[in-house]
């Protein structure tokens, strides 16, 4: 039996990073897909701590908030740095990923038609920060010499941005190499190429 269960809508959304982490760490995941019609009935929403999905179960532990899930899995699977200082830097970078994800989601869900062009124009200002930080570290990862949950989260967000703007990483060789290297890790490659993963739209409104 899969040790972990994820309940979410049929989109990549906030759960791809978590799926990529689990796949790369050789972990199984049971998925419950929720249709929007079922969600609108309201019964499940009432049982969610913040009235939102995803919901993640690890035995008796029930989690909401996708970043809490990433941290939990990072802790359990050795993807949270080798000491407190590395863990703090990983938290910092993951917060940076979340800031960019929120900007991306605002553009996708609220201002795609009017704001996409300006968003893409401003994107290098954000990508350069991640690129510079990673380039200083030399290991090919954000922090330390081992992959962390923040790397998986950044990787997922960069994949989404490559769909939005296929050339957006061209000016950032460190980030481009990072995406290429993680895409080629065998278990990640298998997940990204699986029908179950490929068939999910990135976002709930069909914009990407």
Q: Give the closest residue to 203 by CA, choosing from 6, 5, 9.
A: 9
44 exposure class (CB count in 10 Å sphere: 0-12, 13-18, 19+): middle
Tell whether residue 126 is a contact of ligand GTB (CB under 6 A). Answer: no
CB of 52 to ligand GTB, least distance (A): 3
| Cα 173 off chain centre by | 21
- Of the candidates 7, 13, 10, which has an alpha carbon nearest to the alpha carbon of residue 202? 13
Question: Does 62 engage in binding with ligand GTB (CB under 6 A)?
Answer: no
149 counts as binding ligand GTB under rule CB under 6 A: no
User: Under the criterion CB under 6 A, does residue 11 sit at the interface with ligand GTB?
Assistant: yes
Q: Give the x/- contact pattern for ligand GTB in 14-53, rule: CB under 6 A.
A: x---------------------x--------x-----xxx
Cβ closest to ligand GTB, residue 71 vs residue 126: 71
CB 18 within 8 Å of CB 6? yes
Site of interaction with ligand GTB (CB under 6 A): 9, 11, 13-14, 36, 45, 51-54, 65-67, 204
């Amino acid at each position: 039996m899969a040790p972990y269960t994820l309940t979410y809508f049929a989109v990549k959304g906030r759960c791809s990073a978590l799926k990529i982490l689990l796949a790369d760490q050789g972990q199984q995941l049971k998925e419950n897909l929720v249709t929007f019609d079922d969600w609108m009935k309201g019964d499940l929403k009432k049982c969610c701590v913040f009235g939102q999905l995803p919901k993640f179960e690890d035995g008796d532990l029930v989690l909401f908030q996708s970043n809490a899930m990433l941290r939990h899995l990072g802790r359990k699977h050795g993807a949270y740095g080798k000491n407190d200082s590395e863990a703090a830097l990983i938290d910092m970078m993951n917060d940076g990923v979340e800031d960019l994800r929120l900007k991306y989601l605002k553009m996708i869900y609220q201002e795609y038609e009017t704001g996409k062009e300006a968003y893409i124009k401003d994107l290098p200002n954000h990508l350069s920060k991640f690129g510079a930080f990673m380039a200083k570290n030399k290991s090919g990862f954000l922090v330390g010499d081992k992959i962390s949950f923040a790397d998986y989260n950044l990787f997922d967000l960069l994949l989404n941005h490559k769909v939005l703007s296929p050339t957006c990483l061209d000016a950032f060789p460190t980030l481009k190499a990072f995406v290429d290297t993680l895409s080629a890790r065998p278990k990640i490659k298998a997940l990204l190429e699986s029908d179950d993963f490929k068939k999910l739209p990135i976002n709930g409104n069909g914009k990407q």
